Amino acid sequence: MIHARAINHIGIAVPNIDAQREFYEKTLGAKFEGCETVADQKVKVGFFLLGPEGAQVRLELLEPTAPDSPIAKYLEKNPHGGLHHVAYTVDDIQKRLDDLKASGLRLIDETPRPGAHHTQIAFLHPKSSHGVLTELCQPKKA
């Protein structure tokens, strides 16, 4: 079991973060937190925060930085962008991955890799999560 503590963020693939900022800021009323490049995944990530203190949801807009980025491949099939993944907050991510693998689930990442905001992340295979690309995300230890 993953023992997900919360939805950490929702990942949305976009061709261009700057072109979509207005929708997220002005239409949805989200707060733009800035961008970060995650070299390992060949993406630029833009963060938007929604909702009241203590019950906030973060949206992660993902823009490819290279033609072989996983997001570039997604955009080939969905040129306008779209919902890419849901990320759940977990503790002890390596143990979660080991447990999932032992239970027969397919994983994209058998060991965690670096995510934005100094997190550790890993993706489950969409075939093992009913078509929804699922990310486990372990926040930076305080």
Give the binding site for Zn ion (CB under 5 A).
11, 60, 87, 135
Of the pair 11, 81, the CB lying nearest Zn ion is at 11
Of the pair 11, 70, the CB lying nearest Zn ion is at 11
| Residue 142 in tokens | 């305080």
Q: How far is the CB of 68 from Zn ion (least distance, A)?
A: 19
Of the pair 11, 64, the CB lying nearest Zn ion is at 11
| Residue 19 in tokens | 């072109």
Of the pair 26, 114, the CB lying nearest Zn ion is at 114
| Residue 141 in tokens | 């230890």
Q: Which of 67, 25, 76 is nearest to 46 (CA)?
A: 25
Q: How far is the CB of 51 from Zn ion (least distance, A)?
A: 18
Determine the residue with CB nearest Zn ion: 11
For the stretch 14-19, contacts whose Cβ atoms lie closer than 8 Å and that sit 24 or more positions apart, written own/partner, are: 14/61, 14/62, 14/63, 14/81, 15/63, 15/75, 15/79, 15/80, 15/81, 16/63, 17/44, 17/46, 17/61, 17/63
Q: How far is the CB of 114 from Zn ion (least distance, A)?
A: 12
Q: Which of 115, 95, 8 is nearest to 56 (CA)?
A: 8
Q: How far is the CB of 119 from Zn ion (least distance, A)?
A: 9
